[in-house]
Structure 1
Amino acid sequence: MIEPWMSADDMAEHLGVTKHTIYGWISDRAMPAHKIGRLWKFKASEVDDWVRSGGAAVVEEEKD
């Protein structure tokens, strides 16, 4: 079976975060996403692999 494309709203719900967080991860953390026209689309399997590899992990800033 072919995996369907997911919207930013769908992906936010899938991961339990806001759509704003999804867009931030695309620009700041190289979240796997594909621009189709004006819309971002996602494959759940690609995003799940990215999350498992630590892509969505909270980054602690070093304190001086």
Structure 2
Amino acid sequence: MERQTYTVDEVAGVLGVSRGVAYGQVRDGVIPSLRLGKRWVIPRARFDAWLAGGGA
């Protein structure tokens, strides 16, 4: 079964930005994400749609 989420580090790599920039955009709601306890996860389908320009 394929994972349904990305980590912030994985998203930073995809976008070609630093880990700090990616965390900032996640916290600010720019990148679609969910907070699970102390951990941020980025739903794969929502991120892929956001990246393609379809919004969150």
Q: Which TM-score tier does this pair reach, normalised by the shorter chain? A: 0.5 to 0.7
Give the match's secondary structure for 2:45: helix
Q: Tell me, yes or no, if the aligned pair for 2:12 and 2:19 is still in contact at 8 Å.
A: yes
| Unpaired stretches in structure 2, ≥5 consecutive residues | none
- The 5 A counterparts of 1:8-47 are 8-47=8-47
Q: Tell me, yes or no, if the aligned pair for 2:4 and 2:45 is still in contact at 8 Å.
A: no
| Unpaired stretches in structure 1, ≥5 consecutive residues | 56-64
The RMSD of aligned alpha carbons is 2.3
Q: TM-score, normalised by structure 1?
A: 0.60
Distance in 2 of aligned mates of 1:26 and 1:54: 17
Task: Decide which structure has the larger Cα Rg and report it.
Answer: 1
Distance in 2 of aligned mates of 1:25 and 1:35: 13
Paired AA for residue 14 in structure 1:
V
Report what 1:61 is aligned to: none
Q: TM-score, normalised by structure 2?
A: 0.65
